[in-house]
């Protein structure tokens, strides 16, 4: 089946890549409850579409809808993965996970953890000794424990950081209760450890940002309204989107949030595939501070928390403005009920300044074309921080992945007058924010003009034979195997990577390609011997390339929660050192933000942008946007019919 006919076939009807509907989730839960998960003590971590095999999909074969489910049996302290055939209603897979494997948290466990801590008598007494008696104002923040040692096998643990509000709606992050940690077993609901070390006075200066506290809003800013009187330029049919020359399918999973499927660019009536599947595969936020509470903070917000579950319901005018198309995200509560996150994904167009311009100064005519981008995004709240994730598609075939980090710093307490060398002191009241990194990995199942691709590293080289002393050139080096493709960025060499298709040549007989511009290509700062570094090995390097295997989905492995990092993830799979030349490839890019906190990040952080670009690199034979219309004079006072006269 050609790509065209495949699109035609699926437009308007449910597609095999569509996320599970509410009804399908309920059916999966019911089938499992009637079958192997009949015991009351089972809880559902996730129920999601088991994506069909790429080959079957490509061949246009009939696809049977299947679901993957992850469950925990609390009574037994063991977890399970299940496969359910939605057509026959048969459980086709049911496997118990090893005792040391802990799947991601369920949202219900946040409240359960808080409740366990709040009613624990030892916790109440210990807090009272520190002068804190109103338990309703105490916030127990459910952080993952990291690797907790062999004794923790079979225990599903949460490490609660503790903050206290001064008033019911005041920001708790201004008031950390330092050196106070509660470890909870989520399966039993027990507090199993209280780490009540040296008390430090709780910083009392407020960290509030609400109008009620900060005063009236300024009035000098006039409204900006974005209008599209003729409506947006995208066409949406179910989860299929067509915009400008792009088309793709929108997906959503509990683990990743937004997923883009089957991203293609129409080039002179030919649908050219670029990426088969793209999503955030993992992220981790390790803290550099050696203080006992801080040194163990390193949440994997995707793999330990299922970041899609934490997606916000977006609001028009606040989170996105303009002509918006929303997609809901459907996920599951711990009892297997479907949960709809309404308006979880926002899609709209944005003006993006100029795309190209030239003023012919002899003729005094200027030609300018405006750029615009299609923005497909979601925002997740991971306790203190917000991450807004954006895919931007541009008219010229460029693609950007952008993360805007905002929200509230994860804070710590120090003795007033002291200044921790591992963070930024935020006030004179004992509050500081430790240095940390936000490390992300995006998995891109590339399909540049076809399923078989290869990757080159491109560095600047200054030749030895350089009589003019001005020479520099770009040199391509083929990355032949998985081990050879574990790479770091090098801005001194202006390094980038090129994903090529050797079977398809452009006008100058070179393989068509996309390039990955490795901006924000930082690496993990934690030492190699640290547990976080062993567990987040994906973040030690920026580029990884693997030969496609449908089971290799997440950079730190399927279940990083409480894991040692010794048996799953990119560093393990790439030990196979498979051939990656002209294969079905997956490219994994690690990038991040080295967050040296500044005062301006408090009490709420203005967004910090982190991301990277993919650009066509000889994918087209020339600039593919020459057919863009001039902007009409009436609309924007720019062009005349004969050529734009103003420059
Ligand atoms: N960023 C760690 C986290 C996520 C969700 C809830 C608590 C803590
Ligand atoms: Cu940060």
The Å distance, Cα 524 to ligand 2 centre, comes to: 14
pLDDT of residue 262: 98
Q: Is the CB of 173 under 6 A from ligand 1?
A: no
Average pLDDT over residues 70-84: 98
pLDDT of residue 638: 54
Q: Is the pLDDT of residue 10 over 70?
A: no
DSSP codes joined into one string, 474-533: EEEEEE-BTTTT-B---GGGT-EEEEEEEEEE-TTS-EEEEEEE-TT-----S-TTSHHH
Task: Among the bound ligands, name the one nearest to the CA of residue 159.
Answer: 1
pLDDT of residue 317: 87
pLDDT of residue 9: 41
Q: Is the CB of 104 under 6 A from ligand 1?
A: no
The Å distance, Cα 447 to ligand 1 centre, comes to: 34
Q: What percent of the chain is predicted at pLDDT more than 90?
A: 93
* Segment holding 113, helix H or strand E: helix 107-118
| All residues at 6 or more sequence positions from 560 whose CB lies less than 8 Å from its CB, including other chains | 282, 300, 303, 304, 535, 536, 554, 568, 569
pLDDT of residue 461: 98
pLDDT of residue 12: 38
Q: Is the pLDDT of residue 86 over 50?
A: yes
Q: Is the CB of 305 under 6 A from ligand 1?
A: yes
Nearest of 115, 294, 203 to residue 602 by alpha carbon: 203
Give, using CA atoms, the residue closest to atom 6 of ligand 1.
Answer: 383
Let me know the angle formed at the C-alpha of 554 by 548 and 306, rounded to the nearest 5 degrees: 145
In this predicted model, what pLDDT tens digit does every residue of 422-450 receive, in sequence order? Answer: 999 999 999 999 999 999 999 999 999 99
Q: For 383-387, which contacts have Cβ atoms below 8 Å and span 24 or more sequence positions?
A: 383/141, 383/142, 383/143, 383/410, 384/141, 384/173, 384/408, 384/409, 384/410, 385/285, 385/410, 386/312, 387/283, 387/301, 387/307, 387/438
pLDDT interval class at 13 (50, 70, 90): very low
pLDDT of residue 345: 98
Handedness of CA 524, 530, 536, 542 (dihedral sign): positive
Q: Are 311 and 380 in contact, with CB atoms under 8 Å apart? A: yes
Nearest of 129, 127, 148 to residue 139 by alpha carbon: 127
Q: Which of 104, 109, 301, 605 to mutate to test the pocket of ligand 1 (most atoms within 8 A of CB)?
A: 301
Q: Is the pLDDT of residue 281 over 70?
A: yes
Which stretches does DSSP call E strand in 74-207? Answer: 78-85, 90-96, 138-143, 157-164, 176-185, 190-196
pLDDT interval class at 634 (50, 70, 90): low
Protein fold of 3-96: Nuclear Transport Factor 2; Chain: A, (3.10.450)
Ligand 1 atom closest to 410 (CA): 1
Task: Among the bound ligands, name the one nearest to the CA of residue 385.
Answer: 1
Report the DSSP pairing between strands 78-85 and 338-360: unpaired
Report the DSSP pairing between strands 436-446 and 270-286: antiparallel
Peptide bond into 603 cis (omega under 30): yes
In this predicted model, what pLDDT tens digit does every residue of 530-552 receive, in sequence order? Answer: 999 999 999 999 999 999 999 99
Q: How far apart are CA 33 and CA 339, in angstroms?
A: 18
Task: Among the bound ligands, name the one nearest to the CA of residue 409.
Answer: 2
The Å distance, Cα 204 to ligand 1 centre, comes to: 23
Helix (H, G, I), strand (E, B) or coil at 347: strand
The Å distance, Cα 380 to ligand 1 centre, comes to: 11
Q: Is the pLDDT of residue 636 over 60?
A: no
In this predicted model, what pLDDT tens digit does every residue of 161-207 receive, in sequence order? Answer: 999 999 999 999 999 999 999 999 999 999 999 999 999 999 999 99
The Å distance, Cα 103 to ligand 2 centre, comes to: 25
| All residues at 6 or more sequence positions from 515 whose CB lies less than 8 Å from its CB, including other chains | 458, 496, 497, 498, 499, 614, 615, 616, 617
Report the DSSP pairing between strands 454-461 and 431-434: unpaired
In this predicted model, what pLDDT tens digit does every residue of 103-122 receive, in sequence order? Answer: 999 999 999 999 999 999 99
The pTM for the full model equals 0.96
Helix (H, G, I), strand (E, B) or coil at 86: coil
Q: Are 429 and 176 in contact, with CB atoms under 8 Å apart? A: no
In this predicted model, what pLDDT tens digit does every residue of 195-243 receive, in sequence order? Answer: 999 999 999 999 999 999 999 999 999 999 989 999 999 999 999 999 9
Q: Is the CB of 299 under 6 A from ligand 1?
A: yes
Let me know the angle formed at the C-alpha of 507 by 503 and 508, rounded to the nearest 5 degrees: 90
Ligand 1 atom closest to 310 (CA): 5
Q: Is the CB of 387 under 6 A from ligand 1?
A: no
Q: How far apart are CA 474 and CA 487, in angstroms?
A: 17
Give, using CA atoms, the residue closest to atom 4 of ligand 1.
Answer: 382
Q: How far apart are CA 639 and CA 646, in angstroms?
A: 8
Give the other-Cβ count within 10 Å of 110's Cβ: 19
CATH number at 236-287+298-409+435-616: 2.70.98.20
Q: Are 269 and 263 in contact, with CB atoms under 8 Å apart? A: no
Q: Is the CB of 422 under 6 A from ligand 1?
A: no
The Å distance, Cα 106 to ligand 1 centre, comes to: 12
Q: What HEC string does 184-231 produce?
A: EECCCCEEEEEEECCCCCCCCCCCCCCHHHHCCCCCCCCCCCCCCCCC
Q: Is the CB of 109 under 6 A from ligand 1?
A: no
The Å distance, Cα 116 to ligand 1 centre, comes to: 17
- The secondary structure of residue 453, as a DSSP letter, is B
Q: Which of 107, 139, 141, 182 to mutate to test the pocket of ligand 1 (most atoms within 8 A of CB)?
A: 141
Q: How far apart are CA 293 and CA 410, in angstroms?
A: 11
pLDDT of residue 619: 98
Domain ranges of the chain: 3-96, 107-214, 236-287+298-409+435-616
In this predicted model, what pLDDT tens digit does every residue of 482-520 receive, in sequence order? Answer: 999 999 999 999 999 999 999 999 999 999 999 999 999
- What is the average pLDDT value for the chain, to the nearest integer? 95
Q: Is 154 left (phi over 0), alpha (psi -120 to 50) or beta?
A: left
Q: Is the CB of 405 under 6 A from ligand 1?
A: no
Q: Is the CB of 107 under 6 A from ligand 1?
A: no
Q: Which of 104, 117, 145, 384 to mutate to test the pocket of ligand 1 (most atoms within 8 A of CB)?
A: 384
Ligand 1 atom closest to 299 (CA): 2
Task: Among the bound ligands, name the one nearest to the CA of residue 380.
Answer: 1
Q: Is the pLDDT of residue 578 over 60?
A: yes
Q: How far apart are CA 347 and CA 373, in angstroms?
A: 10
Query: Do the domains at 3-96 and 236-287+298-409+435-616 have one common CATH topology?
Result: no
Instruction: Give the catalytic positions in this structure.
Output: 301, 385
Give the count of alpha carbons within 13 A of 600, CB side only: 4
Ligand 1 atom closest to 143 (CA): 8
pLDDT interval class at 14 (50, 70, 90): confident
The Å distance, Cα 108 to ligand 1 centre, comes to: 13
Strand partners, 249: 240, 261
Protein fold of 107-214: Nuclear Transport Factor 2; Chain: A, (3.10.450)
How many angstroms separate the Cα of 266 from the Cα of each of 57, 194, 232, 244? 20, 59, 19, 9
pLDDT of residue 249: 98
In this predicted model, what pLDDT tens digit does every residue of 580-589 receive, in sequence order? Answer: 999 999 999 9
Task: Among the bound ligands, name the one nearest to the CA of residue 433.
Answer: 2
Q: Are 147 and 155 in contact, with CB atoms under 8 Å apart? A: no
Ligand 1 atom closest to 384 (CA): 1
| All residues at 6 or more sequence positions from 31 whose CB lies less than 8 Å from its CB, including other chains | 84, 89, 90, 91
Give the other-Cβ count within 10 Å of 431's Cβ: 28
């Amino acid at each position: 089946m050609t790509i065209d006919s495949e699109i035609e076939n699926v437009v308007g009807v449910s597609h095999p890549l569509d996320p599970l509907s509410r009804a399908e989730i309920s059916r999966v839960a019911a089938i499992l409850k009637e079958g192997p998960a009949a015991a009351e003590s089972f809880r559902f971590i996730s129920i999601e579409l088991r994506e069909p095999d790429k080959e079957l999909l490509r061949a246009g074969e009939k696809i049977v809808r299947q679901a993957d489910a992850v469950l925990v049996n609390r009574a037994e302290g063991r977890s399970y993965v299940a496969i359910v055939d939605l057509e026959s209603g048969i459980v086709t897979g049911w496997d118990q996970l090893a005792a040391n494997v802990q799947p991601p948290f369920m949202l219900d466990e946040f409240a359960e953890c808080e409740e366990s801590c709040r009613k624990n008598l030892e916790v109440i007494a210990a807090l009272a000794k520190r002068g804190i008696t109103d338990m309703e104002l105490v916030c127990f923040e459910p952080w993952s424990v990291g690797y907790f040692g062999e004794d923790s096998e079979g225990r599903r643990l949460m490490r609660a950081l503790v903050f206290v509000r001064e008033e019911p709606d005041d920001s708790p992050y201004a008031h950390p209760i330092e050196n106070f940690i509660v470890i909870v077993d989520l399966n039993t609901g027990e507090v199993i450890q209280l780490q009540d070390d040296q008390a430090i006075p709780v910083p009392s200066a407020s960290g509030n940002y609400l109008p009620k506290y900060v005063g009236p809003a300024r009035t000098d800013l006039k409204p900006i309204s974005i209008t599209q009187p003729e409506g947006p330029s995208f066409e949406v049919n179910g989860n299929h989107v067509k915009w400008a020359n792009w088309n793709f399918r929108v997906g959503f999973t509990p683990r990743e949030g937004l997923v883009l499927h089957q991203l293609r660019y129409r080039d002179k009536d030919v649908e050219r595939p670029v990426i088969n599947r793209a999503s955030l595969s993992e992220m981790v936020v390790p803290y550099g501070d050696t203080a006992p509470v801080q040194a163990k903070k390193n949440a994997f917000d995707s793999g330990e928390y299922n970041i899609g579950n934490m997606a916000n319901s977006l609001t028009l005018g606040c989170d996105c403005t303009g002509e918006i198309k929303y997609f809901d995200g459907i996920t599951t509560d711990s009892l297997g009920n479907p949960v709809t996150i309404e308006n979880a994904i926002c899609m709209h167009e944005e003006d993006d300044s100029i795309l190209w311009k030239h003023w012919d100064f002899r003729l005094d005519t200027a030609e300018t074309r405006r750029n615009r981008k299609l923005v497909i995004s979601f925002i997740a709240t991971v306790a203190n921080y917000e991450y807004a994730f954006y895919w931007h598609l541009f008219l010229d075939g460029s693609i950007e992945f952008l993360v805007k980090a905002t929200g509230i710093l994860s804070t710590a307490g120090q003795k007033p007058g002291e200044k921790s060398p591992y963070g930024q002191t935020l006030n004179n009241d004992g509050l500081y924010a430790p240095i940390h990194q936000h490390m992300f990995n995006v998995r891109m199942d590339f399909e540049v003009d076809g399923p078989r691709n290869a990757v080159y590293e491109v560095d600047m080289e200054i030749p030895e034979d350089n009589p003019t002393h001005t020479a520099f050139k770009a040199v391509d080096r083929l990355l032949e195997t998985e081990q050879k493709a574990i790479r770091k960025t090098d801005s001194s060499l202006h390094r980038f990577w090129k994903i090529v298709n050797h079977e398809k040549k452009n006008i100058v007989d070179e393989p068509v390609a996309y390039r990955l511009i490795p901006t924000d290509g930082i690496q993990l700062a934690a030492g190699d011997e640290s547990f976080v570094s062993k567990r987040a090995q994906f973040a030690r390097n920026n580029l990884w390339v693997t030969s496609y295997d449908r089971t290799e989905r997440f950079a730190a492995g399927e279940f990083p929660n409480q894991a040692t990092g010794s048996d799953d993830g990119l560093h393990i799979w790439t030990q196979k050192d498979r051939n990656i030349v002209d294969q079905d490839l997956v490219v994994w890019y690690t990038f991040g933000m080295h967050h040296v906190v500044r005062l301006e990040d408090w009490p709420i952080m203005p967004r910090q942008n982190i991301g990277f670009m993919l650009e066509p690199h000889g994918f087209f034979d020339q600039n593919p946007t020459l057919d863009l219309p001039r902007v009409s004079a009436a609309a924007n006072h720019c062009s005349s019919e004969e050529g734009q006269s103003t420059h």
